[in-house]
Each structure stands twice: as structure tokens, then as C-alpha cells.
Amino acid sequence: MNSCKRRLPGNTGLHAVVRIGAVLGLLAAVPATAEDAPARKPGLWEVKTSIDDRGRAVTVQQCIDAATDQMLQSSTGPLAAPICAKREVKKSEGGMTIDTQCTFNGKPASAHAVVSGSFDSAYTMTVTAEGVDLPATRMTMDAKWLGACAADQRPGDVVMAGGVKVNIPDLQKRAGAPGAMVPFGK
């Protein structure tokens, strides 16, 4: 079959995904204990992400259970735990802050996140990230719990704009490792 790699359509979408991945990678690169990173309520979540208040927000729906929520929190983004020296989580009555120090392309990078709301119904996370090879970026994620997953959904399914549905654990299995490119026809 064709050995071409899957690519996201359009440069704007690709740039947004790369920036989101880098910012989320800074947050998720160092694993947190269960008490540091509260689990979201299982079911269907709608997550709207905007970057630097530019353009329109990207909205996806995620069907999660406890295992896929933990997997998504611990493996999001291009950075791996060994390249992050520090992750500090501070809880408050209204939410939490997360500060992460990493090395991105061999140079220091950092992210500061403020999370408010409830992981049972709705929350907002605002992330400010910057580094030598990462332009200063501010990302806001607004998430709300919609209810149980649809009958045709399974944990790990992400429904993107236009109705495209992918299952993140399946993609990782097919690729052989988190973050790997998936060849067509395999």
C-alpha cells in the first residue's frame, strides 16, 4: 500500500495542532500522581481550545473512561517525561496551578497553567507557555461534560470538526509508540 504518512489538512490547522501539542506536552510531560491530576468524570466531554485569541476555536468531543483519561493526561504532546526537570502542582479552593520546566529541542521551555471549575461537570484551563524554540503562546481550554458516550463511541474516541472520529489508543497501537506517524493502509 501507499507509504505516505497521514497529514493534517491545511497549514493553519497543522500549525495550531503543533502549538497545542507543544503546550500540552509541557504540562503532561512529567507524570503527576493521582492526587495531583484529578480524573475527569467518565463519559463524553466537549473541549473547546483557542490559542492566543486568534481565529476560531477548535472544538472536539472526547469519550473517556478512567484508563483513557489517565493515558491522555500522561502522554499528550511531543515531550517525554525524561526531558522535563520539574512539575509543580499547587491546589487551591477554586482549582489548581501547574508549573512545568522542560527542555524543548535542547533549550529550556516552561508552561504555567491555571485550572478552575470541576472535573465532574465543566472546567477551564488557561496555559501560558514559552521557550527558546517555542513562541510565547496562550491557550485556553473550556471543557464541559455532555453525558454518557454515544452508543457508537468507545473510550479514547475523539470526534473532531467535520465529524472525523479517531481512537487515540488504536492509533498508538498501530503506530507502535505514542506520537509516531501512522502509514496509510496499515
88: left (phi over 0), alpha (psi -120 to 50) or beta: beta
* Position 25 in a domain: no
Band (82; pLDDT cuts 50, 70, 90): low
Q: Which long-range contacts link 169-176 to residues 24+ away (Cβ below 8 Å)?
A: 169/68, 169/71, 172/75
Q: Give me the domain span that covers residue 68.
A: 40-175
Q: Is the pLDDT of residue 102 over 80?
A: yes
* Position 55 in a domain: yes
Q: Is the pLDDT of residue 21 over 90?
A: no
* Position 28 in a domain: no
Number of domains in the chain: 1
* Position 134 in a domain: yes
On average, the pLDDT of the chain sits at 74
**To which residue does cell 452508543 refer?**
151
Separation of alpha carbons 77 and 166, rounded Å: 16
Q: Provide the pLDDT for residue 74.
A: 59
* Position 14 in a domain: no
pLDDT in tens, 51-68: 886 778 899 999 999 988
Q: Is the pLDDT of residue 10 over 70?
A: no
